[in-house]
Amino acid sequence: MAERDCGIEVYLTATPGIGGRLKAEPEDFVVEEVGSPPAEAPDGKYVAALIRSRNWETNRLVREMSRDLRMSRRRIGFAGTKDKRSVATRWFSFEATPEEVGRLRLADVEVLESHRAAKPVEIGDLRGNRFHIVVRDLAVPGDEAEVAAATTLLQLRAAGGFPNFFGMQRFGSIRPITHVVGRHIVRGDYQAAVDAYVANPIAGEDEGSFEAREALQDSGDYKAAFHEFPDSLGFEKAMLGHLAGRPGDFVGALKALPFNLLLLFVHAYQSSLFNRMVSERIRRGLPLNQPLAGDLLLPVGADGLVDRNRWVPVSEANLEKARVQCAAGKAFVSGTLIGTDSAISGGVMGEIEQSVLDAEGVRARHFVVPRIPRLSSKGTRRELACLVGKISVEVSGDTAVLEFSLPRGAYATCLLREVLKDESGLG
């Protein structure tokens, strides 16, 4: 049910799945950023470093690097988050000297190369990601798996891509609650937001964490919980420590978290609503990347990236031209990521977007967050489908190996779920 709770409710293809397990080992999910690092500048104030990490969640990696290097986490930049259970290679920037970065010593973290730079690495500074993925314990014999995977990929290409859902990593693979926290924040219920993050035990997490959260949920004693929570729950303990010293200051407790994590909560809520819109369009049998009158298209810029800040309305007058542009990969049908300035489609897609917002009881004005203004969101739009480019699939026995690249913001697991059709195996 975790996927459905986050708005991922349907499949686009009707082909049989191959089943199997992802991420049996971190080495089964290898991801490398595609893009250019900040240019080398001998007198630059930053150090750009290409870092390979194994089994590290991005926010915790940044926190531990800041501790190890004895610097503020604000002095560390990165382009995008990655799956925790993976081997990930990506660029970071440090407002530091090469000698300081050279002293980084963390288990399963390796600095592959580095140089001085005049600019930091910032969120979005990448073109995409390249993946090498191993799926083990396939549910069907190898020859059947090969045919099923190939048929699914053919159907996805014919459909103009796979559903561009926000994957479960957006919401928390073990504790899919980021969107729940975000929902409470935009509604102004800050205590509920705190409780959803620090309490709220969920089956699947380790026993010590589950029991600590359960005890807090039953007692509501934040001060006692601060002493009882395991040290591994560092973000939670920061919030509890604040509440122990300042009872009732739930806004302050949220502010004890890294800002990019707080922002993720609001974005995750927007993402869950977007997922529900995509699911409903598929459920109605409407194409994801063949425009209809009323749709809003996102053009592809000269840099080859989708421009999510500019949209083109589709009418009966330009419908044929819009379809040609989408078929050529020069534009994409989009859905709203609701915020104060985001647009709602016309036509059937507008009905879908509005029905999801009505069911949730949310409006654009809710994304003004007066108590934490930096969390206010203007919103944007996102393409409903992601093109399937060159992809290789090799099956041997009960194991499949897939290699492919995706543009930034797309989730490999959302492509893989169409091939596997087994939520339990996605990890």
Active site amino acids: 83
DSSP lists the bridge partners of residue 76 as 94
Cα separation, 303 vs 173, in Å, equals: 32
- How many other C-beta atoms can be found within 10 angstroms of the C-beta atom of residue 396? 9
Judging by DSSP bridges, how do beta strands 29-34 and 128-136 pair with one another?
antiparallel
Using CA atoms, how far apart are residues 139 and 145, in angstroms rounded to an integer?
8
**Do 309 and 276 contact (CB within 8 A), yes or no?**
no
Closest by Cα among 390, 401, 414, 403 to 20: 401
Cα radius of gyration rounded to whole Å, the chain: 22
Q: How many CA atoms lie within 13 A of 124 on its CB side?
A: 5
Helices then strands, each counted (H, E), the chain: 14, 15
Could you tell me how far CA 68 lies from the centroid of its own chain? 26
Locus of tokens 């940044």: 62
C-alpha 136/C-alpha 122 separation (Å) is 35
User: Which residues pair with residue 373 across a beta bridge?
Assistant: none
